[in-house]
């Protein structure tokens, strides 16, 4: 018999699941028919590359497409674009579909993968009276958003934007601010707390200082609460408390919201972040799987539910779902919250890496923590490329285990976070990290890698503490 697998959503999570299911089925001789429904006209593109497309690093939107619809179909997937799932009936095992041409249909399934992803948060102030976004105000979420932004920035609307406001100081806000600045816009970033709220505020402040050096006006501790609209109906200014900031364009970088609506209406549970709650095999009900941005994840250590909508997890979770639905037995190993971003414009180049909880997050579950910021350099001090790097270590006082790390520094800083992620993944202590065999040559690192220096200093601090007790 041939089993019918229906996948909802044709981006990272959905297509990873579809391909892995077919691979495993080919290996085990199982017969699967895989149908993927995608409501947009696009599949398998890198949303992560959108800011770099706007900035001018990427030649075209097509370059961001990892695999075309034709390539998916050649590999045996029945991919249907312009097909929106509008209802799931788990008992009858059918999904109702609305096609872009207005037609409606009903698709049966033996197994279902929900990979409907997320959408950008859009606050009420961004909407005009007709419920549509105020012209000039837009998120950067999809390939269509990217194309629309590019047209706007290139003056397609008959006016060349000169001033841009970015609402939100997270990584998408930061990357969009870079694109604006590199396009010559007078750029203001407005953010509720400190810049990069996924870092401790002292580390976020270091990022803010770099943005200011590059020429970005940063309003931190401020929230956009309205816009002024000009004579033509397009945005003219952003209102944030007492501030009125002239704005020809406004980018929304206010976070992601899981597209879990139709799954929740079908009776599948959602968590406190609004995401689906798969088990470690990415299963949410009998023969029903979920992966990617529509799901909450589980922290690797501690097991808390978190919402970390990142492509790196979407692809891995999709693969796990696809493998298991085809008869395999693998698990998603959890998240640490490892992430990297940067800002390079206006003569500034800052890289940011983070893994594990922030100090505030860790303090909720662990009583006895030590944290220390260590400043060093990215390469031997006598090399021309040597630049400052700050490494914040978070460790458990009793076990001396590394709990978290945050890095802010010049070129070559960001990816160093992966050393810390690997160490935390394996449960290593700060002493272990300080003693590890890491690489060294003057252009790349001081004799001791900055991550090791920071862990060594933290270990010293812990020794001093215990000596003093
Ligand atoms: C600007 C930007 C930069 C980013 N940078 C990074 C980065 O550097 N690193 C990183 O790890 N992550 C990054 N991300 C996040 C990453 O893009 C997402 O985590 C990833 O795309 C999630 O994949 P997904 O398949 O779960 O969901 P999505 O990409 O959201 O795909 C879901 C798909 O489902 C479709 N869909 C939704 N509802 C339905 C329905 N009812 N019926 C049919 N189809 C439906 C949607 O149209 C969409 O195509 C970035 C995101 C953005 C927006």
From 10, 46, 47, 355, the mutation candidate for ligand 1 (largest count of ligand atoms within 8 A of CB) is 47
Tell me what pLDDT residue 64 has.
Answer: 96
Q: Which of 175, 178, 265, 314 to mutate to test the pocket of ligand 1 (most atoms within 8 A of CB)?
A: 314
**Annotated catalytic residue: which of 48, 294, 295, 455?**
48
pLDDT band at 90; cut points 50, 70, 90: very high
Ligand 1 environment, Cβ below 6 A: 8-14, 37-40, 47-48, 50-51, 84-85, 115-118, 140-141, 172, 259, 262, 292-293, 309-312, 314
At residue 7, the 3 state secondary structure works out as strand
Q: What is the pLDDT of residue 366?
A: 72
- Per residue in 420-456, pLDDT (tens digit) is 999 999 999 999 999 999 999 999 999 999 999 999 9
CA dihedral 142, 147, 148, 150 (to 10 degrees): 120
Distance 314 CA to ligand 1 centre (A): 8
Q: Whose CA is nearest to atom 8 of ligand 1?
A: 48
Cα(11) to ligand 1 centroid in Å equals 6
pLDDT in tens, 284-294: 999 999 999 99
Phi, psi angles (nearest 5°) of residue 410? -75, -170
Residue 146: pLDDT over 90: yes
- The mean pLDDT of 108-116, rounded to a whole number, is 98
pTM: 0.96
Atom index in ligand 1 nearest the CA of residue 37 equals 43
> What is residue 277's predicted lDDT score, i.e. its pLDDT?
98
Please provide the size of the chain in residues: 469
Cα–Cα dist 452/465, whole Å: 20
Q: What local confidence, expressed as pLDDT, does residue 469 receive?
A: 57
Can you tell me which atom of ligand 1 is nearest the CA of 12?
25
> Considering only CA atoms, which residue is closest to atom 34 of ligand 1?
9
* E strand segments, 322-466: 339-345, 348-355, 369-377, 388-396, 402-409
Both structure tokens of 353 = 């890496």
* Closest alpha carbon to 239 in 122, 125, 123, 120: 125
Q: To test ligand 1's pocket by mutation, which of 44, 117, 306 has the most ligand atoms within 8 angstroms of CB?
A: 117
Cβ 4 vs Cβ 106: under 8 Å: no
Q: How far apart are CA 341 and CA 334, in angstroms?
A: 21
| Ligand 1 centroid – CA 48 distance (Å) | 9
Tell me whether residue 295 is one of the annotated catalytic residues.
no
- pLDDT bin (cut points 50, 70, 90) of residue 159 is confident
- Tokens at residue 451, please? 């991550």
The string of pLDDT tens digits covering residues 311-344 is 999 999 999 999 999 999 999 999 999 999 999 9
Q: Check pLDDT > 60 for residue 263.
A: yes
Residue 369 Cα to ligand 1 midpoint, Å, equals 35
| Residue 413 tokens, joined | 């800083």
Q: Which atom of ligand 1 lies closest to the CA of 16?
A: 25
pLDDT computed for residue 273 by the predictor: 98
What digits encode the pLDDT tens for the residues 202-216? Answer: 999 999 999 999 999
Q: Is the separation of the CB atoms in 321 and 292 below 8 Å?
A: no
pLDDT on residue 352: 98
Strands, E assignment, 9-72: 32-38
Residue with tokens 């929900």: 114
Per-residue pLDDT band for 157 (boundaries 50, 70, 90) equals: confident
Of all protein residues, the one whose alpha carbon is nearest to atom 15 of ligand 1 is: 310
Nearest by Cα to 171 from 225, 251, 232: 251
Ligand 1 centroid distance, CA of 139 (Å): 13
Q: What pLDDT is attached to residue 289?
A: 98
Tokens at residue 376, please? 């060093």
- Answer whether 303's CB lies under 8 Å from 266's CB: no
Given a cut of 60, whether residue 166 has pLDDT beyond it is yes
Rounded mean pLDDT, 78-107? 97
Q: How far is the CA of 340 from the centre of ligand 1 (A)?
A: 17
């Amino acid at each position: 018999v041939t089993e019918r697998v229906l996948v909802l959503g044709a981006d990272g999570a959905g297509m990873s699941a579809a391909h892995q299911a077919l691979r495993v089925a080919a290996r085990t001789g199982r017969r699967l028919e895989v149908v993927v429904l995608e409501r947009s006209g696009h599949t398998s593109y890198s949303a992560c590359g959108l800011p770099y497309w706007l900035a001018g690093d990427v030649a075209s939107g097509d370059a961001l497409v990892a695999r075309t619809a034709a390539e998916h179909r050649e590999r045996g997937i029945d991919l249907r674009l312009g097909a929106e799932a509008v209802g799931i009936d788990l008992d009858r095992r059918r999904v109702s579909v609305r096609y872009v041409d207005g037609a409606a249909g009903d698709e049966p399934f033996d197994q279902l993968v929900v990979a409907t992803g997320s959408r950008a948060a859009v606050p009420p102030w961004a909407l005009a009276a007709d419920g549509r976004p105020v012209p000039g105000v837009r998120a950067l979420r999809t390939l269509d958003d990217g194309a629309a932004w590019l047209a706007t920035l290139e003056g397609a609307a008959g006016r060349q934007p000169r001033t841009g406001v970015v609402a939100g100081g997270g990584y998408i806000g930061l990357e969009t601010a870079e694109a604006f600045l590199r396009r010559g816009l007078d750029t203001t970033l407005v953010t509720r707390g400190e810049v990069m709220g996924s870092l401790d505020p002292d580390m976020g402040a270091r990022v803010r200082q770099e943005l200011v050096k590059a020429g970005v006006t940063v309003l931190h501790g401020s929230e956009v609460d309205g816009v002024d609209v000009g004579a033509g109906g397009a945005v003219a200014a952003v209102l944030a408390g007492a501030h009125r900031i002239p704005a020809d364009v406004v980018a929304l970088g206010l976070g992601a919201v899981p597209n879990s609506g139709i799954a929740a209406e079908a009776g599948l549970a959602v968590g406190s972040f609004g995401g689906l709650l798969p088990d470690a095999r990415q299963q949410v009900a009998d023969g029903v799987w979920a992966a990617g941005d529509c799901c909450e994840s589980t922290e690797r250590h501690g097991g808390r539910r978190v919402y970390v909508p990142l492509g790196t997890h979407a692809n891995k979770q999709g693969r796990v779902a696809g493998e298991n639905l085809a008869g395999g037995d693998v698990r998603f190993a959890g998240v640490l919250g490892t992430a990297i971003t940067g800002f390079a414009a206006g003569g500034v180049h800052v890289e940011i890496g983070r893994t594990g909880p922030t100090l505030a997050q860790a303090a909720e579950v662990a009583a006895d923590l030590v944290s220390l910021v260590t400043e060093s350099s990215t390469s031997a001090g006598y090399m021309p490329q040597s630049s400052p790097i700050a490494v914040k270590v978070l460790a458990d006082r009793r076990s001396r285990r590394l709990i978290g790390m945050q890095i802010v520094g010049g070129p070559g800083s960001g990816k160093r976070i992966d050393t810390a992620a690997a160490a935390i993944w394996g449960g290593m202590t700060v002493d272990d990290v300080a003693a590890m065999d890491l690489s060294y040559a003057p252009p790349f690192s001081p004799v001791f890698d900055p991550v090791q220096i920071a862990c060594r200093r933290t270990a010293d601090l812990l020794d001093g503490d215990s000596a003093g007790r």
